[in-house]
Amino acid sequence: MSQSHVEPGNYRNPSDDAWWRRALDATGATMQLRAFEQDGRDVPWSDAVMNASAAAAMRWRASSNGRWADLPKGPLGDLSEGFAQRLAEEYNRDDNIGFHIDNTDWLPNVRAQMARGDVDRTLENAARSIVTSADPGPNGERWHHPDPDKVAEVRNAMSQRLLEGRYEGAPAVGDQEQNFAYRLGYATADAGVKAMNASLATEADPELARSVRHTLDAQPAPRATAPAERTDGAAAGTGTSSGQVKTSGVGPRG
């Protein structure tokens, strides 16, 4: 594991998973409170914490508009750094220049897309980037209009994984030399990538799709979040709650 870097006189230690859990929880809560005080919006925790992390990675934390004011100290950008790394591994290839997918210091498009616009659309923006990179269609014409069901599936998978990391042990995904936030960001993006790949697999194999539908129909299970729903903020210890996903106006907001 990485070396501890405890600041003198306190327990601020980004190498400590326990510190990160508290820091990320406080980060999401701070953003949720600010949104509520500003216009009464109930912003999901998963979107709120990723929005703040993306802004920190973009060096927008000290922005004069105060949107990210009062966030905890520490390298909050590491969550979105891990997130961007996983997307870059999947989509940054010579034969596939991903839309908004990038992991360099100069063109961190995925982080910019997550940080700007409405806070509650942070993961939706990232999901749109994944869908259009993995399934651009002929000549990439779906770039501005990705399949809303796929966007919802990918967004919900990422939200679910992020919420699980909020309460569970450190995710065993990614470079174990990296800190908890980086690994959680990596695991969150990985969940989105896997959801997208599963969706493409069922499309490419009609027999597989029929088998999946038959299995789901034949084995009733506890209620899960449907593709058209959102996995939002959670009650402590459960990690999930549901609501409707926004699928209108899927083009990026400024």
When pLDDT is averaged across residues 33-46 and rounded to a whole number, the result is: 94
When pLDDT is averaged across residues 201-212 and rounded to a whole number, the result is: 65
Domain residue limits, the chain: 19-244
CA distances from 232 to 12, 71, 95 (A): 28, 21, 35
Query: Which tens digit of pLDDT belongs to each residue from 90-126?
Result: 887 766 555 556 554 434 578 888 888 799 999 998 9
Average pLDDT of the chain to the nearest whole number: 75
Give whichever of 79-88, 139-148, 212-221 has the largest mean pLDDT: 79-88
Three-state SS letters, the chain: CCCCCCCCCCCCCCCCHHHHHHHHHHHHHHHHHHHHHHHCCCCCHHHHHHHHHHHHHCCCCCCCCCCCCCCCCCCCCHHHHHHHHHHHHHHEECCEECCCCCCCCCCCHHHHHHHCCCHHHHHHHHHHHHHHHHCCCHHHCCCCCCCHHHHHHHHHHHHHHHHHHHHCCCCCCCCCCCCHHHHHHHHHHHHHHHHHHHHHHHHHCHHHHHHHHHHHHHCCCCCCCCCCEEECCCCCCCCCCEEECCCCCCCCCC
**pLDDT given for residue 47 in this prediction:** 97
**pLDDT given for residue 79 in this prediction:** 95
Query: Which tens digit of pLDDT belongs to each residue from 211-242?
Result: 545 544 554 443 334 444 556 644 333 333 33
**pLDDT given for residue 146 in this prediction:** 82
At residue 138, does pLDDT exceed 50?
yes
Q: Say which range, 35-49, 84-98, 132-146, has the weakest mean pLDDT.
A: 132-146
**pLDDT given for residue 69 in this prediction:** 82
pTM: 0.76
At residue 81, does pLDDT exceed 80?
yes
Asked if 53 and 9 touch (Cβ cutoff 8 Å), the reply is no
What span, in angstroms and rounded, lies between the C-alpha atoms of 172 and 136? 31
Confidence of residue 25 (pLDDT cuts 50, 70, 90): very high
